[in-house]
Each structure stands twice: as C-alpha cells, then as structure tokens.
Structure 1
Amino acid sequence: MSPSPRFTEIADIAADVPALQAIRHQIHSDPELAYEEVRTAALVAGKLREWGWEVSTGIGRTGVVGTLRAGDGTRAIGLRADMDALPIIEATGKPYASAQHGKMHACGHDGHTTMLLGAAQHLARTRRFNGTVHLYFQPAEEIGVDSGAKKMIDDRLFDRFPCDAVFGVHNHPGMPSGKFLFRRGPFMSAGDKVTITVHGVGGHAARPQKTVDPIVVASSIVMALQTIVARNVDPAQPAVVTVGTLHAGTVNNVIPDSARLELSVRSFSPDVRALLKRRIQDLVTAQAQSYGASATVEYVEGYPVVVNSDAETDFAAQVARELVGDDQVVEQADLIMGSEDFAFMLQERPGSFLRIGNGDGSEDGCMVHNPMYDFNDRNLPIGAAYWARLVERYLEG
C-alpha cells in the first residue's frame, strides 16, 4: 500500500515569507483603483510566468489568470483574489504606506493577492496535485456596480478557464489572525446603491419663504429612511439602509436649488430587497412632495447575495481544520452585512467564500475601509498554505 500523500503545512511556506512580505508591501505602496490595476496586474503576471504558470492578461479589462496543470486528472479548481484599492488617504504611517495620494489598500486586497501568489509559487514548486488549477486575479471588486467579477465572467472566464468549483477569501478584522470563518448558504448580503436628487427652489438665505429648501427636504428624507427597516421589514430579516453622503450648497448665505444623497442598501432576501426598493422610492417621492419639492431616485442593483454551496463549504472547512486545528475554525459564522462581487462567480459555479481573521488587537483589528487599516502579514504563510493545501486535497490522486 502506497503511503498517504503529504499535503502543504504552514511551515512549508516559512522560507517564502520575506519575499511575500516584500510583494505585499510593494502592492500596498502602489495602490490602483478599479480598472486601473495595470502595475499590479503586471507584477502578478510577471511572478506567475517566472514560476512557470501559463498566463492570460486583459481578462475583464485588467484581470489576470494563471493556469497550472499536473498529472492526467480531469478536474479543475479556481481560486480568486481581488487586486483593487480604495479612494482613501492612508494614515497608517507605515514605511510601505501608499505613495499614491488619495488611494489606499484599505481592504486588504494587497494581502489577498499576495496569499494567492504565495500558493502559486509553492504549487509550481511541488506540483502535488492531479488536474488543473486556475488562479483568477480580479480587478474592481470595490466599485459596487459593473464589477470585476462580472466583467471577467462576461469575458467568458469560465468558458476559457473552466473549473468544477471556485473559492475566494477575505480578511476579517476583529477575529484573531489565522482563524477561519465559513458559512453554508447565504453568507454576505446583496448590496444596492441609491442616488437621490432633491429639486427645490434656491434663493437668499435671509428669505427662506421665497424658496423650497432642498437641504431641509433632504434632512427630512434622511430621518424618514430610518423607519423603513424599523417599521417595514420583518425583524427576523436582516437589512440595512445607510445614507453615506449628503451634498448641498456652497456658501452659508445661499439656499441651493438641489441636494444629493447616496445610499447603501443591504439585504439577504429577494422579497426584502424588493420591499426596500419600493419603500425607498415611495417614501422619497412623498417626503419631497410634502415640502413642495420633487425628487428623482436612481436605484442601481449591485452585488447579489453571496451563497456558498454546502458540499464545497464543508470541504473547505475540513481543509482548514487539517491545517490549523478545530479551535481555529468557525464552521457556521454569523451573517455579514457587507457585500462581495464573488457572489457573481458563485452564481456560475459551486464553491465557497471564506474569511480569515486579520487580528483582534488595537493595531491589527482595525476595520476595513479605514485610513488606519493594514493587512496582517502573519496571514501570508497561513493563507498561502491554505490555498495550496485546498488545491492538493481537491485534486488529490
């Protein structure tokens, strides 16, 4: 009887850690926004070619796909990492902080990309699998609509680089570094974007009776919107309506003629999603009319719900238990109200989106989309080893 194959352990990546940190810091210091990831894509493509992967570029505009085959197996697995940054001014003061003012890797995509590159290097070196691996380095996850996952799929991603299952990961501040979170079924919410423009009548600040003040109308709309989840949505159904921006006016002595609000709307149920859309539109229209104003509502449905398939999630969790132990794995984590365009990939293929703790301390537990956020480099060997082991286990034999 032949001995059992040896699968990747975290210690197997230890020698690669300094190089992986250098890659991560290079990407972090040179962040690029959605569909601008030209330098990041070139770095990724260059590393993959150096390690012997087949490389395809320009997938979904700035996406990169790496392909590696071993043995005669017919099965294929897809692993995805996102590459884009956010329009945030970094305040970490780190030596490798962003050199691009107003752009920042504030969500850890630099770490996601580097973990997958670490797995790519190790898999090319060891080739302890039987089948095909596709690595999908995706642009424009943060854009909210018209995203990179959708663009890559529209560019025939799964026809050109087919897989039997697809997996993705995101770091998770507030949980210890290296702790894995999984969830079968719905995991992350649908996310929609709403833009409201209030049309009033502008005029002199000293003669408000001659105007229809859109700032007053907009303020009333903000408060009224808070009642939708509280009084229209079943309390057992999670939902969020957040007003993220309100812009109006330029000086203190002029009442403007318009105001603009932007909303983020989150939900898990198709029925609740439809209810939120209807109530927002009706409430905004009625609220504006009650002040003698009018309002237009642009409602853009963004990312769908992230729905993990049961079998692939159970498998992914089992691999994590093997790698880090039972106490470092949460099998059925809480729902997350954030959204993620990996949902589009899960609509096309079975698979699972998982989370890895980024730290729970005062420094390494900072929330994403914050000027002080930084990806935790302790996750680099853990994530790289996890992806490599997942490939070896999925394509075992």
Structure 2
Amino acid sequence: MATPVISKGFVDSIVKFRRNIHSRPETGFKEADTSAAILAELKTLGIPDSDIRVMAGTGIVADIRGTAAPIGSAAGSAGAAPAEGAPDGAVVIALRADMDALPMTEDTGDLPWASSRPGAAHMCGHDGHMANLLGVARLVAARRDRLPSDRVLRMLWQPAEEGPGGAAPMVAEGAMTGVAEVYGFHNWPTFPLGNAQIVAGPAMAHVTDFDVTVNGRGGHASAPHVLADPVLAASHCVVALQSIVSRCVPAADAAVVSVSTIHGGEVRNVIPSTVTFSGTIRTLSERASSIIAEKLPALVNATAAAHGCSAEVSLESLYPVLHNDPAAAEHCVRVAKATLGPDRAPSWGLPLMGGEDFGYFSAEAPGCYVFFGTAEQDRENHMLHSSHFDFNDRALPRTITFFTRLLEDRWGLAGSAASDGGGSAASAVSGSAGPLYSEEELPSFAGKGGVPPADWAPPAPSSTRTDRTEAVGSDAVAMGHA
C-alpha cells in the first residue's frame, strides 16, 4: 500500500513554516521578510528564476510547469480550457495566498510563536493561507514529472489584502495573463472544521468608505439658539443614513451602511464648530452601491442644511464585489464533496458583507473563493481580527488535499479522485495523463477506507519561544525585526 504523502512529518514542516511566519508579521506592502522566506522555499522546489516574478513591491508570481508529455485540450473537456494569452496553449490554474498581517498587537498569552513585532500581528490567518499554498506547491512540484508540460500551477503570493490592496497592482502588472481559472480561500472560525463553505455568485461585498465633516457655528452651550449646532446636525445625519437602505435600495439587494466613528468637541460647555463622522457602505451589487453613493451625499447635505450647517462628503470605492463564477463554484463543490465529505460543502452563512480584493483576480478569469471552517468544540474559536486569534493548524491537511485535488480536476487529469465517474476527464483530452496522486497517497477525508491525516495533531507548544532564526524548508532564513 502506498504511503500517504500528507504525513505527520510533511504537515509538521508546513506548520513550522506557518508559525515562523506568524512570529514575524509584516503589514501591507512591507512584507519584505515574508517575501524572502517564500522565495527561499520556491528555490527549494526547483522553480527556475524565469518562472518567478516579483510584483507589487513584495508580491510574488511563480509558475510550476509539468515536464511530462503534453495532453492538449479538446472541446467538452472535463478540465479547464486554455485562456487567451496562455503560453504554448497551456492550462494555467492560479491559486492565491495573501501575505500581510494586521496593524495591531497580538494578545495570545505565552504562545511560543506569537508576534515578536509590536503593532503587527497575523490576526486574520494569512500565515495559514501561505502555509496552505506552500503545501500544495510542494505536492505539485514533487510530481512535476507526471504533470503534462501544458499544465501550469500559478501561485499568486499577494501583499496588502488588508489595505490598501495588492491584488489590483498585481493584475495591472500581468499576474493574471494566460490564467484559465483562479481560486483562493479564507479560514473562517465560525464554520466547522472540515467544511468548505461555497456559494455561487456574490460571495463578499463591494466596500466603499465615506467621511463626512459637518460645519456649524460653535459657541457656549448655554446659548444654542444663536449658534448652528453641528453635533445635532451630525446626529440627525447618522440616523437619516439608515433610511437609504430601507427606502432607496431594492429589498432584494443586500446592503449595509454603518457609521463607525464620530468626533466633535473637547469641552462639555462648548458646542464645537465642526463634527466629523465616517463609516462604510457594503453591498452585494454594483446597482446598490451606485444608489447609495448618489443618495448619501444628498441626504447629508440636506440634513445639515436643515440645521443651519453645511457638510463636506467624500467617498472612496475600495474592493469590488467578490463574485464566484457559478461553474467554478460547482467545481469546488464537487471536489469538496469528494475530498471532505458529501455534507461538507454547504452554502449556509454566505455571502458575507466583508470586503476582499480577490475580486480583482476573479474579474480577470473565472474563479471561486472558498471559506474553510476552522471551528472545533474543544477549542477557543476567536474571530478574525481578534487580538487572541491564531490559525487552526488542523485545517491544513484538509485545505492542502482539497486544492491539490482541485488542480487535478481543473487540469483534466484522468482518474482524478474528484472527477465524475473516476475517469471522465480521460476521454475528453487528446492525450492521457493520470492524477498526480493515487487515493492511497492522498486519501480523502470522506470516510473512504480510513484517513490517516485525520488523526494528526499539531505539535505541542514548546515551553520557550521559538528561536528567531529558524529553518524554513531546507534554507535558514534570518528574518529581521521591524
């Protein structure tokens, strides 16, 4: 019987990489040490320099190409078709991992791999996303000789997802050229471990920031009748904004307008001359975004004027709606059911009203963004962006298995464990090629004959913090302190 490739040793090495990255977090467009660690790993995989490009400052685009005989592509193929601009007609499938940390301080107690850099912390799990992509890359690179030369894995290592956004500049620099399909994921601490939550269509919201300044005429609090009170005007504006969604946006369109900051005044007996407030607009359609962007300034200006004040309003459109292509979503559902279990690909809880710049990638090619659950009953499941958050390493065997099988499926490799009927892809390609890994080598989590990785447990924390210079892959990388 073949030995499973996702062994304890394999996962331990991926977890070591994840925790090493976690201890040295870097915020958007400052991921120099993170980028260096990834580049060192890619070198160990034998990827030539010509297939590695640095983009958007600290981002990386790297390709793993097969070396086996090409198999071509035919109409009706179960796998993806080559995209326009693909090199030599290759089927290029892209996987994305975001790299940046949040500008906040970690509070995970004595966690040995906790952030060593005050003011920066991996409280959104991007360290886990990078570890997943590295694990998939290792599995694909190890079977490069079985992968047809017209099949390519493109890795998108993206900076600054938390802001100001690294996906758009990577797209502008050519990261998506020739890509047939693109996939990504986010860990989600409120979904059960082992679930891959997937929805077709809108999956995350279009986000617009707004800032408002209400200008009045300040003075002593005992004589508001001779003043123009911006506190009262701003308060009415905040309340009035909630009427936009309920009275201007079609009921079928999800939208949320939230005021999250308000500032004005310094002394209790002085009415200030100015009050500012700010917030976000979140929608699942461009129609709703346009309606709110038009109505909000008009409503604020009219409300301020009704109280003898004036207003200045600015809006900044950030990330677009993250739209999951229906066909790509169906591919993910099929693979998730085959690898994780028939009941492990639900859509409940989706879409989400958070923002994600993966939408820039999926606007260039059909794509799907998956939400992998990490919640366990016997674990504290802190929410993303909590100062107590840490990525659940037990998710990694599942995510690595899923994405490896998804690649096989989309490359149209015959006999892929996730392909319908076991071999439907074979008859649809001009050549023939088997999957990179057999079911014994890469077992599913769907209860078929036992799954060794399911019993794997993360390494126990050591009693002391990790050394700040650790082996990353086969290279030692000393990561500096910011």
- Do the structures match in fold with TM over 0.5? yes
Greater CA drift, 95-104 or 58-67 = 95-104
Shift of 1:283: 1.2
Computing the radius of gyration from Cα coordinates, the structure with the larger value is 2
Change in 2 beyond 3 A, CA 1:279/1:18: same
2:333 pairs with one of 292, 296, 317: 317
Shift of 1:236: 2.6
Q: Which amino acid aligns with 1:243?
A: V
Q: Which amino acid aligns with 2:338?
A: E
Asked if structure 1 preserves the Cα contact closer than 8 Å seen for 2:340 and 2:402, the reply is: no
2 CA distance for matches of 1:219 and 1:54?
60
Q: Does 1:148 align with 2:182?
A: no
Shift of 1:356: 0.3
2 CA distance for matches of 1:133 and 1:293?
58
Change in 2 beyond 3 A, CA 1:252/1:19: farther
Gaps of 5+ in 1: 1-5
Shift of 1:82: 0.6
1 CA distance for matches of 2:265 and 2:379?
38
Report matched runs for 1:1-397 at 5 Å: 12-54=6-48, 56-70=52-66, 71-73=68-70, 74-93=90-109, 94-127=111-144, 128-130=146-148, 131-143=151-163, 147-159=165-177, 162-205=178-221, 208-209=224-225, 211-330=227-346, 334-359=350-375, 361=377, 363-395=379-411, 396=413, 397=433
Shift of 1:117: 0.9
Asked if structure 2 preserves the Cα contact closer than 8 Å seen for 1:187 and 1:306, the reply is: yes
State the secondary structure of the residue aligned to 1:329: coil
2 CA distance for matches of 1:265 and 1:230?
14
Higher share in helix:
1
1 CA distance for matches of 2:207 and 2:48?
35
Change in 2 beyond 3 A, CA 1:263/1:125: same
1 CA distance for matches of 2:247 and 2:362?
32
2 CA distance for matches of 1:351 and 1:336?
17
State the secondary structure of the residue aligned to 1:68: strand
Identity of aligned residues (%): 36
RMSD between aligned residues: 2.3
Shift of 1:320: 1.6
Q: Which amino acid aligns with 1:78?
A: A
Q: Which amino acid aligns with 2:394?
A: R
Change in 2 beyond 3 A, CA 1:81/1:294: same
2 CA distance for matches of 1:181 and 1:13?
25
Q: Which amino acid aligns with 2:59?
A: G
Shift of 1:89: 2.4
Asked if structure 2 preserves the Cα contact closer than 8 Å seen for 1:175 and 1:365, the reply is: no
Q: Deviations over 1:198-241 (max 9, x none)?
A: 22234455555554333333222222212222333233321101
Gaps of 5+ in 2: 71-89, 414-432, 434-482
| Structure-2 residue corresponding to 1:3 | none
